[in-house]
Amino acid sequence: MNRIETMRERLANLDPVSIDIVDESHKHAGHAGAKDGGGHYLLRIVAPAFAGKTTMARHRMIYSVLGEMMKRDIHALNIQAKTPEEV
């Protein structure tokens, strides 16, 4: 399973309405994180679970379900987390 598939599987725990993950690692070639193997990703996720949560709380929820991937597989994650009402 590749990284994006693994990310999707873990993010499914948030019961999202939609998930869009874009690998932007090619934009960071030569960057220290890229040299170490960590990818750069753009995540757009819409989930009712984000209702009433601050941006920071939403990001913490995402980091929590991604777990050790944040230390090993993901160097940078640009997060756009919204509720269905915010879309």
Q: Hey, what domains does the chain have and what are their CATH numbers?
A: 3-86 (3.30.300.90)
Please report the pLDDT score of residue 38 as a whole number: 77
Mean pLDDT of each 10-residue bin along the chain, 87 residues long = 94 98 82 67 98 98 97 93 97
Cα separations (Å) of 9 from 4, 52, 64, 86? 9, 24, 13, 24
11 token code pair: 């993010």
77's enclosing H/E stretch is strand 74-82
What pLDDT does residue 44 have?
A: 98
